[in-house]
Structure 1
Amino acid sequence: MKYLKNITLVLTILALTVVSAMAQGGAADNESTVASYKALAAGIGFGIAAGLGAIAQGLLGSRAMEGAARNPGAAGTIRTLMIIGLALIESLVLLALVIVFAKL
């Protein structure tokens, strides 16, 4: 886990320095550059939202299965709450998609 955190940190720092290094050359205030960075930021933001939503859905599904396995009598209630939770998580991801398209 520590190795994964270190790799993530290094890649994040590398990505941020590459963007700032590329911004050094030429005028960065023209319309096409701003639009391209806007699209890049929207894509990264939506990617983060979708990725975290997928992780949350996976955790919710695994915890619901664990709960149903421990207490089979409550499986119906757990399933209902799981479906509601999945719908709420998915609605947040879809809201992020709508925001991305509204800002572009």
Structure 2
Amino acid sequence: MNKLKYFAYSTLALALMALPAMAQGAADNDSTVSSYKAIAAGIGFGLAAGLAGIGQGLVGSKAAEGAARNPGAAGSVQTIMIIALALIESLVLFALVIVFAKL
């Protein structure tokens, strides 16, 4: 426990001493912020699109499974599947709008 306390204090001291070294001018900060915005937007939209693709695949597979188990309800399963796919795709488009608005 004592070693953990010393480690926490030394980490805190190093973090506080590093603050003046991280100071930058306003011009440098603007370019850094804009580059980080672009990186964050790309990663965020990539995650949104990738996870939506996984979700759409799961919706399609479960709809096919449901139609195979109960062929009489295939019409209603297909309708529900199309609505779910439209909602998932609208979330991806909403993420794209947010990316363009932030950039």
- Unaligned 5+ runs, structure 2: 1-20
Q: Deviations over 1:54-93 (max 9, x none)?
A: 0000000000000000000000000000000000000000
Number of matched pairs: 81
TM-score w.r.t. length of structure 1:
0.72
Distance 1:42 1:25 in 2: 24
Which has the higher Rg, Structure 1 or Structure 2? 2
Matching of residues 82-93 of structure 1 within 5 Å: 82-93=81-92
Alpha-carbon deviation of 1:27? 4.0
* 2:64 partner amino acid: M
Q: What residue number does 1:49 align with?
A: 48
Alpha-carbon deviation of 1:30? 2.2
Distance 2:81 2:68 in 1: 14
Distance 2:30 2:98 in 1: 21
Pairwise CA RMSD: 1.8
- Unaligned 5+ runs, structure 1: 1-23
Distance 1:26 1:55 in 2: 42
Q: Percent same amino acid among aligned pairs?
A: 74
Matching of residues 5-84 of structure 1 within 5 Å: 27=24, 29-84=28-83
